């Protein structure tokens, strides 16, 4: 029961913080003398970032709630999502054209966003674990998470070493195994129940 109360308290705090942040942005928009297309684009980009990151953060929260044994992975997903959001908002609102060039801040935004999405997908896969899953389902789930992390590491490496390319055979192979596992896992789960 104490754990449920802690989760409810954290969720209430998150809701209040999000409402305050939305209020500040709305106030900034409504009190501006003139809103130009650049500010509208920045608000739109911020909304897109929040939407994508909320998927990963929500999956991390679900994992922490459903699988206490690996809850730290869920909390890491949430933490990385918050860091990604802060960095992305900083990039979007401080720089004149956030999509122009590829600064150090832009690289860190890329790293944290990709990390959040990868951890969020892994959290979704791992949160679906049931104690009565067959060994085949557990194997496919584990291999799919492994392939997902292979794709994420390859993409992060590609971003970090500009001018060099990740072997397309490696990236392609990890991608195929991840997609295959993602599609086969629910089918296999239904087949073995």
Alpha-carbon distance of 35 to 58, in angstroms, equals: 32
The pLDDT value recorded for residue 36 is 66
For residues 142 and 113, the answer to whether their CB atoms sit within 8 Å is no
Name the token pair of 156. Answer: 């992060």
Alpha-carbon distance of 39 to 82, in angstroms, equals: 23
Q: If you write DSSP's letter for every residue of 103-131 in order, what string do you get?
A: -HHHHHHHHHHHHHHHHHHHHHHHHT--T
Q: If you write DSSP's letter for every residue of the chain in order, what string do you get?
A: -HHHHHHHHHHHHHHHHHHHHHHHHHHHHHH-S---HHHHHHHHHHHHHHHHHHHHHHHHHHHHHH-GGGHHHHHHHHHHHHHHHHHHHHHHHHSS-TTSS--HHHHHHHHHHHHHHHHHHHHHHHHT--TT--HHHHHHHHHHHHHHHHHHHHHHHHHHSTT----HHHHHHHHHHHHHHHHHHHHHHHHT-
The pLDDT value recorded for residue 189 is 78
The pLDDT value recorded for residue 185 is 84
Tens of pLDDT along the chain (193 residues) come to 455 666 666 667 667 777 777 777 777 677 766 666 677 777 778 888 888 888 888 899 899 988 999 999 999 999 999 999 989 888 888 776 655 656 788 889 989 999 999 999 999 999 988 888 888 889 999 999 999 999 999 888 888 876 567 777 888 888 888 888 888 888 887 787 6
For residues 149 and 122, the answer to whether their CB atoms sit within 8 Å is yes
4 Cβ neighbours under 8 A, 6+ residues apart: none
Alpha-carbon distance of 10 to 2, in angstroms, equals: 12
The domain ranges of the chain are 1-35, 37-191
For residues 82 and 57, the answer to whether their CB atoms sit within 8 Å is yes
The pLDDT value recorded for residue 1 is 47
């Amino acid at each position: 029961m104490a754990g449920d109360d802690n989760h409810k308290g954290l969720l209430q705090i998150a809701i209040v913080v999000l409402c305050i942040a939305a209020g500040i942005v709305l106030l900034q928009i409504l009190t501006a003398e003139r809103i130009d297309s650049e500010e509208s684009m920045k608000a739109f980009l911020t909304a897109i970032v929040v939407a994508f990151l909320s998927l990963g953060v929500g999956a991390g929260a679900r994992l922490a709630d459903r699988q206490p044994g690996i809850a730290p992975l869920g909390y890491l997903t949430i933490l990385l999502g918050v860091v990604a959001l802060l960095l992305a908002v900083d990039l979007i609102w401080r720089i004149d054209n956030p999509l122009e060039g590829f600064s150090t801040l832009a690289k860190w935004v890329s790293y944290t966003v990709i990390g959040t999405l990868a951890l969020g997908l892994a959290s979704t896969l791992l949160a679906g674990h049931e104690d009565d899953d067959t060994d085949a389902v557990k194997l496919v789930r584990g291999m799919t998470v492994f392939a997902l992390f292979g794709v994420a590491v390859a993409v992060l490496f590609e971003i970090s070493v500009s001018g060099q390319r990740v072997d397309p055979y490696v990236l392609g192979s990890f991608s195929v195994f991840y997609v295959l596992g993602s599609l086969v896992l629910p089918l296999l789960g239904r087949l073995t129940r």
